[in-house]
Structure 1
Amino acid sequence: MDKYKVILFDLDGTLSDPKVGITKSVQYALQKMNIVEPDIDKLECFIGPPLQVSFAEYYDFGEKNTQKAIELYRERFKEKGMFENELYSNIASLLKSLKEQQFTLVVATSKPTVFAEQILKYFNIDQYFELIVGSNLDGTRASKTEIIQYILDKYKEHTLSDFIMIGDRKHDIIGANNTGINSIGVTYGYGSFEELSHSNPTHIVKSVSQLKDILMGSQVK
């Protein structure tokens, strides 16, 4: 079994379930732009990918309307959306165990870094992470490939085989593949088994306990 040293975690759908906050903030933005979507379940597709990708893909917004929608989304998200969120069970204990075993933990999210930092602090799990890397508020460094590469560049003393990326959507796995590191797809989040398997992750797990088995098992040769 590979012995990983630096573990990258996606945030939304991997560490926490952000459904209410994200979907209601998208709903708010759409409403302000005269689009009524009463069913927040239909907005789950916004969980994970960068907002500029989702608004363009699902509502056919051009660059100007996408930027306007993101600004409206953030109005509500900053005020309350980021806290309409809950940690998946056993995540805090997993992070504590990994930290105690001297793994280096990093957050790799498409969410703006400033929001990710506040969310991790709100849940009191920021203490477990050495680095938190997200997108910039101006929309740059939004793709998971760019985010992972930025992290790899910060840890040049490590080889690629030391890293593993954990996430619930294809973007996480594609980012890992593009940068040459291993990955774990988690199906307890918002990506289906089909979505994840088509992206060719190193592993797929359906629970936090299975995730722990792989990560802690990586210490055993």
Structure 2
Amino acid sequence: MNPTLTRTWSAILFDLDGTITDSAPAITSSLARTFATLGRPVPPAAELLAYVGPPLLAAFREYAGMTPAEADEALKVYRTDYQGPASLDTAVYPGVAGLLERIHQAGIPLALATSKPETNAIKILEHFELAQYFTVMVGASEDETRSAKADIVAEALVRLRAAGADVSSPVMVGDRGYDAEGAAANGVPAILVEWGYGSPAEATAATAVVHSSDQLARLLLG
């Protein structure tokens, strides 16, 4: 991985949780209430962090050992709890809002590509007045038929093309190995940020890893 990578990107895709926003407090609180509502032991806070990023249906199965039916029920309970004010218990990482504005001003198309339900993701970006910088905003579908990161990245590229954007040289910005792997499945390089929820072991599929918004800006804008 080369942290001094420089390139002219035709479009930039951004993850949301752990990349633009520090949403772990809202997500883990809702998850804790979900486990309690289901009558299950509430995992420690450190374990709940693992749920932030990957599709929740898969996370419930992998981390909590739920059956597909149990995971479906858990997702319904979680989404009911997470609606409204609970989802806004979050903050934009320092320097990120300014970077998104600079990318927009530079005329580079921006796409959101998140595993969070699309409607929730859009509400959060609108709340922080960041939606204005994005050409398209893509998240998981309500029925979870589109939840894998590879499918979300693919849909973001489709919508960018439909909007007239040049997607000949896109790049994905995220914080988890899921982001890099989903991007790679579409032939897209990935830059991972260290301020999110991933671990160093997840960065193996990334083209570069950055530790600050200034360093990310240099890779994206030169």
Q: Report TM bin, short chain.
A: over 0.9
Contact map agreement 1:133 1:147 (CA 8 A) in 2? yes
What's the CA shift string for 1:52-104, capped at 9, x where partnerless?
01100011111111011011111210033211111001111101111111111
In the alignment, the residues of structure 1 paired with residue 35 and residue 47 of structure 2 have an alpha-carbon distance, to the nearest angstrom, of: 13
Measured after TM superposition, the shift of residue 160 of structure 1 is 5.4
In the alignment, the residues of structure 2 paired with residue 160 and residue 117 of structure 1 have an alpha-carbon distance, to the nearest angstrom, of: 22
Matched, 1:19 2:24: yes
In the alignment, the residues of structure 2 paired with residue 2 and residue 159 of structure 1 have an alpha-carbon distance, to the nearest angstrom, of: 15
Q: Identify unmatched segments of 5+ residues in structure 1.
A: none
AA aligned to 2:108 is F
Contact map agreement 1:160 1:181 (CA 8 A) in 2? no
Match 1:164 to one of 171, 194, 197:
171
- Once superposed, what is the RMSD of the aligned Cα atoms? 1.4
Match 1:115 to one of 113, 116, 120:
120
Matched, 1:148 2:173: no
Aligned length: 215
Match 1:8 to one of 6, 9, 13:
13
SS of 1:110's partner is strand
TM-score normalised per structure 1: 0.93
In the alignment, the residues of structure 1 paired with residue 33 and residue 203 of structure 2 have an alpha-carbon distance, to the nearest angstrom, of: 29
2:65 aligned partner: 60
Alignment of 1:202-221 (within 5 A): 202-217=207-222
In the alignment, the residues of structure 2 paired with residue 106 and residue 155 of structure 1 have an alpha-carbon distance, to the nearest angstrom, of: 7
In the alignment, the residues of structure 2 paired with residue 38 and residue 194 of structure 1 have an alpha-carbon distance, to the nearest angstrom, of: 22
TM-score normalised per structure 2: 0.92
What's the CA shift string for 1:100-155, capped at 9, x where partnerless?
11111110001111000100011111111111000111111101100111122234
Counting aligned pairs with the same residue, the percent is 33
2:3 aligned partner: none
Match 1:173 to one of 152, 177, 180:
180
Alignment of 1:61-100 (within 5 A): 61-100=66-105
Shift of the 30–168 alpha-carbon distance from structure 1 to 2, 3 Å rule, reads same
1:192 aligned partner: 199
What's the CA shift string for 1:19-63, capped at 9, x where partnerless?
111001111111011113263232000100000011000111111
In the alignment, the residues of structure 2 paired with residue 174 and residue 27 of structure 1 have an alpha-carbon distance, to the nearest angstrom, of: 28
